[in-house]
Amino acid sequence: MTSMDFEDDIANYKGPVNDSMPAYVRAGFVRKVYFTLSMQLILTFLIAMPFKAFLSPSWVHSHAYLSQVASVIAIAVMIGTMCCCKDATRTYPGNYVFLLVITVCISITVGFLTAIYKTDSVLLALGATVMVFGSLTAYAKYTKSDFTGMGPYLMAALMSLMGFGFVLSLFSMFASVPPVMQTLYALGGTLIFSMYIVYDTQQILGGRSIELGVDEYVFAALNLYLDIINLFITLLQLMGQREN
């Protein structure tokens, strides 16, 4: 099934991803999500790699504001689109423009982060992320437990983590943050984003209590992409060693 074939199918079929929909449409939805996710991850690698290969940690530190600007743009685009024109995430080609802007901005942030860590630490975190993602994807697919109803609890945990991170940021302006607090923050993030991978994967595969619409493949790919990137970042913070 080509990309345009799938676009035609979802134009003719509106509904959740479950066992009642045509099998080829459901399979096309899943393939579309993971293909889009793969393209996002490849783009992130291509953008982030030069930061690690060619930029010194001192340059990265002195230009850290660029990473912050990229993060703000990504968040603004996500919030603005979801609040004002959510249909843009469901219709071609606007959904891909939306996805591209966010992916590029996040990739720049990842590039800045990896540049301040040692290469072996980055590779270790990358390998751990691949293993965790693969294991959790298999678990989400084959387990009989339904995690799709955990959205409110995961959101509460994520908001708590963000609040904790904000407090640590304020504290770091006046004193050095104790390593144990940084470790707790990274460990909490690792657990939360691991749960999000299971939660989002089950929504993508369908057949659970909460399902995505077949036209939400870009939204689904973005969710998994954010889970993977944040898992990688927290694992890097948890296990990584910074450049001198």
Q: Which of 12-26, 65-79, 174-188, 190-204 has the lowest mean pLDDT?
A: 12-26
What pLDDT sits at residue 15? 63
Whether residue 64 is contained in a domain is answered as yes
Domain presence at residue 125: yes
Answer whether residue 244 is part of any domain: no
pLDDT at site 93: 80
Asked if residue 105 is part of any domain, the answer here is yes
pLDDT of 227: 97
* Confidence tier at 11 by pLDDT (50, 70, 90): low
Has residue 43 got a pLDDT over 90? Answer: yes
> What per-residue confidence (pLDDT) applies to 17?
65
Count of domains for the chain: 1
Query: Any residues with CB less than 8 A from the CB of 107 and at least 6 apart, and which?
Result: 43, 44, 47, 48
Is the predicted pLDDT of residue 7 greater than 60, yes or no? no
pLDDT higher than threshold 80 for residue 223: yes
Burial of 89 (0-12, 13-18, 19+ CB in 10 A): buried
Average the pLDDT over 19-26 and give the result.
70
* Banded pLDDT at 175 (limits 50, 70, 90): confident
- Mean pLDDT for 4-32 is 68
**92 has a pLDDT exceeding 60:** yes
Domain with 122, as residue range(s), is 3-239
Query: Is 168 inside a domain boundary?
Result: yes
Average pLDDT value over all residues in the chain: 88
**SS3 track for the chain:** CCHHHHHHHHHHCCCECCCCCCHHHHHHHHHHHHHHHHHHHHHHHHHHHHHHHHCCHHHHHHCHHHHHHHHHHHHHHHHHHHHHCHHHHCCCCHHHHHHHHHHHHHHHHHHHHHHCECHHHHHHHHHHHHHHHHHHHHHHHHCCCCCHHHHHHHHHHHHHHHHHHHHHHHHHCCCCCCHHHHHHHHHHHHHHHHHHHHHHHHHHHCCCCCCCECCCHHHHHHHHHHHHHHHHHHHHHHHCCECC
Predicted pLDDT of residue 173: 82
Confidence of residue 121 (pLDDT cuts 50, 70, 90): very high
Percent with pLDDT over 70 in the chain: 90
pLDDT for position 196: 97
Contact 92, 29 (CB under 8 A): no
Q: Is residue 184 part of a domain?
A: yes
